[in-house]
Structure 1
Amino acid sequence: MPQSVQIDDIDRRILRTLAADGRVSNARLAQIVGLSASPCWQRVKRLEDNGIISGYRAMLNQESLGAPEIVLIEVVLDRHDDQTLEVFGREMEKLHEVLEVHLTTGEYDYLIKVAVNGTRGYEEFLRKKLYKVPGIRHSRSSFVLRSLKNVQAYLPDEE
């Protein structure tokens, strides 16, 4: 388990700013958080080196890409041995429609987030892809009607 790294208020401002706009220039970031460019860059580098910042990515508009509907799928596997879990994980990696896969507690084993083009696109995904994955016993689906909040990380307040 990664060890907790101490961060101060300036680090928190850097993280909040980068979470809101990962393309902000170092000069602008430094101005926002009240540092000169060099110390700001050093802090960002330290946050990256310590694994607090794990990467930068573009957020894609699913509607513009032809897969506007998000479906949350709860999956139960037949077995829970290492081989079944490994095969399931590898198969999920291959499915481009699958955005997220979470091993969960409770009634279902996994929660999967999928992007599809409507109910027909979802039916095709189920028949041609998901139901061909070995080891799935049961699934239950819910279409997302509207997302009220969509953030990628939680930054705890200072304790």
Structure 2
Amino acid sequence: MAAQEAESPARRTRVVDDVDLRLLRALWMDGRARVRELARELAIADSAVSVRLRRLRERGVLAGVHAVFDPAVLGLTTQALVGVRLAPDISSPVFEGRLRTMRSVLGAVTLVGDYDLEVHLACRDMVDLERAVYELRDAGAQTTHTQLIARTVVGLGQALLTEEEPA
């Protein structure tokens, strides 16, 4: 029981201090920032930044730094969120494995509610979107509900890294 408690997200949150939060915030703004740049911004030694980054990775606080790209640059101008209810004979892990092989899938989340998953698709056009939704059905979706994305709101998530506790 104590080992499980030590690894819980609540326990990890307590081991992140103000400097770690500032470091995470700086990485959020520029995931490619070099250790020297981060050290200068935080007014601490390069070695201290390196130690903190290693510790944050080891504790699972910093799971990775990823590139964010605009799918439209690749000609994928039609995006949609598709609510998926799985067929009774398809498990979520099996369906998730199939999603990994689908070219149009940008991401997915599992849900508790009306749908089992929500899948983010990026397609060339409406014909390509229709093909992608059929591919979801072939993979085990019993029903789908498609919503076109008009615009993506950017710059969200930074408030998670503030020192203030939510009200």
Alignment TM class, shorter chain as reference? 0.7 to 0.9
Equivalent position of 1:149 in the other structure: 154
Larger fraction in helix = 2
State the TM-score, normalized to the length of structure 2: 0.83
Shift of 1:68: 2.3
State the TM-score, normalized to the length of structure 1: 0.87
Shift of 1:138: 0.8
Shift of 1:101: 1.6
Q: Does 1:132 align with 2:138?
A: yes
Write out per-residue CA displacement over residues 92-143 of structure 1, whole angstroms, 9 at most, x where no aligned residue.
Answer: 111121121211111111111111112122012223x222113x21111001
Shift of 1:61: 2.0
Equivalent position of 1:31 in the other structure: 40
**What count of residue pairs does the alignment treat as equivalent?**
155
Q: Does 1:117 align with 2:96?
A: no
Q: Distance in 1 between matches of 2:156 and 2:59?
A: 21
Shift of 1:156: 5.8
Write out per-residue CA displacement over residues 55-85 of structure 1, whole angstroms, 9 at most, x where no aligned residue.
Answer: 1222222111111222100011221x6x532
Q: Distance in 2 between matches of 1:85 and 1:22?
A: 31
Q: Does 1:105 align with 2:149?
A: no
Q: Does 1:9 align with 2:15?
A: no
Q: Distance in 1 between matches of 2:155 and 2:84?
A: 23
RMSD: 2.0
Gaps of 5+ in 2: none
Three-state SS of the structure 1 residue aligned to 2:71 is coil
Gaps of 5+ in 1: none
Three-state SS of the structure 2 residue aligned to 1:94 is coil
Shift of 1:29: 0.3
Q: Distance in 2 between matches of 1:137 and 1:29?
A: 48
Three-state SS of the structure 2 residue aligned to 1:108 is coil
List 4+ stretches of structure 1 deviating above 4 A: 150-153
Identity %: 25
